[in-house]
Structure 1
Amino acid sequence: MRFFRPGAACVLTCLLVGGAVLPAHAQEQMAVGASDQDHALLERVEHHLDGISLLKARFRQIAPDGKQTTGTAWIDRANRRMRFQYDPPSPLLLVANHDQVVFNDSQLDQTTTMPMDKTPLGLLLRPHLQLSGDVTVTGLSRDSNMLNVTVVRTESPGDGSLTLVFRNNPLLLRGWIIQDAQQQVTRVELLDVTTGGAPPADSLFNTDLPEH
């Protein structure tokens, strides 16, 4: 596993999904290093993610401006596709499929398309996310209840970072924090998570959204 070794002053601040900061007395923060304990934690994360091929959940999202929205998420990691259906009155829809991420705002009559591999979402949708090679771990933080792992693409860290947020003991994916290339931070919390079952209809992941 590849690690980025920050200076002593660079300590990862662990943000819980929802924007709360772990109290200093309740958390153990680790400068990222190649200790046996770090390796064991990351192998545990890889094993947990490998066990998630299909996931459906309610979600709560906090945008960079602090606005909160809710909706339903379908994540099909086996086929590298995702749908974020936002609840009304939100005009937003996000669909990832065919190596693209498509974001539609019906209120603005605007659709934006980006290559999946240019966004942190591309890492999340890998059927087998290995925390090594072309992925570099830049942050690792935990307390008795939570475990956060921050990763970037090794060759293009400027594209943004993805922080996976887990509940600890037992390990369960609870959400993620995305920091994009413009340093804008979006937090997503997963609620009422179910995994497995029959794959959703292909139409759910249709990226042929109206262009304006």
Structure 2
Amino acid sequence: MLPLLSLLALAPPALAQAPAPSARDRADLQRVEAYLNGLTTLRARFIQIAQNGATAQGTALIWRPGRMRFDYDPPEPLLLIANAGQFLHYDKELRQPSIVPVGSTPLGILLRDRITLSGDVTVSAVQREQGLLRVTLYRTENPAEGRITLVFAQEPMELRQWLVVDGQGRTTRVTLSAIETGLRLNRAAFDFNDPRFMANPVDNN
């Protein structure tokens, strides 16, 4: 079984003070902000790779602000849902849920109503290579909660991957493919009052 909670990175190592961004960095960060704030719904296939090489795949849904869902393909019995300010990690085999606040995880930055990559969010690195833009960030007042690196295609800009680092320096990588945006999603797909819900998370009506 994959260490799913490491994807949320609850207690990473201390972070060095971030350098001041260059003019080019600031321009790229403005593009990232505009892209993320313009993103409402997203559906994609994902592949998750843990530090130990364990892999899993499934379908990811994002409905900004506030909602996210990861359905893992069998044999992984896992379900991850964000809604109402909480992340639910549910093991279907054990029928055991665990819940943490969205605001206590670096992944929660993606789900904010308005994403601003300054102030209470610190950008620690901006890197460019082979048409990709990598932005590493963490919550300014709570760096111990984790850091996340978002990876974007630059032309056109599109979220392709993220990496989260846990307290032991282990990295969990999530790569997206077959990305669709602007979909009409079923609100019930993000309701975790009953973990048995959701036959069809996309509403095509």
Instruction: Give the TM-score range, shorter chain.
Output: 0.7 to 0.9
- More displaced stretch, 160-169 vs 150-159: 160-169
Tell me, what secondary structure is at the counterpart of 1:155? Answer: coil
Partner of 1:74: 61
2:86 is the alignment partner of 1:133 = no
> What TM-score comes out, normalization by structure 1 length?
0.79
Decide whether aligned partners of structure 1 residues 33 and 144 sit closer, same or farther in structure 2, where only a CA change above 3 A counts.
farther
Q: State the alpha-carbon separation in 2 of the partners of residues 179 and 142 from structure 1.
A: 20
Q: State the alpha-carbon separation in 2 of the partners of residues 5 and 114 from structure 1.
A: 27
Query: 1:88 Cα shift?
Result: 1.0
Query: 1:5 Cα shift?
Result: 4.8
Unpaired segments ≥5 residues, structure 2: 1-15, 196-205
2:146 is the alignment partner of 1:160 = yes
Partner of 1:34: 21
Query: 1:181 Cα shift?
Result: 4.0
Indicate if the aligned counterparts of 1:160 and 1:183 stay in contact, CA closer than 8 A: no
2:34 is the alignment partner of 1:47 = yes
Q: State the alpha-carbon separation in 1 of the partners of residues 161 and 38 from structure 2.
A: 16
Percent identity at matched positions? 46
Partner of 1:100: 86
Q: State the alpha-carbon separation in 2 of the partners of residues 104 and 183 from structure 1.
A: 24
Aligned pair count reads 180
Q: State the alpha-carbon separation in 1 of the partners of residues 37 and 160 from structure 2.
A: 15
Q: State the alpha-carbon separation in 2 of the partners of residues 182 and 112 from structure 1.
A: 21
Query: 1:209 Cα shift?
Result: 4.8
Q: Which amino acid aligns with 1:53?
A: T
Deviations 1:53-86 (A, max 9, x none): 11011111112322111101110013x1111000
Q: State the alpha-carbon separation in 2 of the partners of residues 48 and 89 from structure 1.
A: 34
Q: State the alpha-carbon separation in 2 of the partners of residues 35 and 57 from structure 1.
A: 33
Decide whether aligned partners of structure 1 residues 209 and 65 sit closer, same or farther in structure 2, where only a CA change above 3 A counts.
farther
Partner of 1:24: none
Unpaired segments ≥5 residues, structure 1: 7-31
Indicate if the aligned counterparts of 1:144 and 1:168 stay in contact, CA closer than 8 A: no
- Pairs within 5 Å for 1:16-31: none
> What TM-score comes out, normalization by structure 2 length?
0.82
Tell me, what secondary structure is at the counterpart of 1:90? Answer: coil
- More displaced stretch, 170-179 vs 90-99: 170-179
2:180 is the alignment partner of 1:197 = no
- Pairs within 5 Å for 1:168-207: 168-198=154-184, 200-207=185-192
Tell me, what secondary structure is at the counterpart of 1:207? Answer: coil
Deviations 1:116-167 (A, max 9, x none): 1001121011132100110000111111311100010000001001111111
Partner of 2:50: 63
Partner of 1:22: none
Indicate if the aligned counterparts of 1:82 and 1:95 stay in contact, CA closer than 8 A: yes
Indicate if the aligned counterparts of 2:36 and 2:110 stay in contact, CA closer than 8 A: no
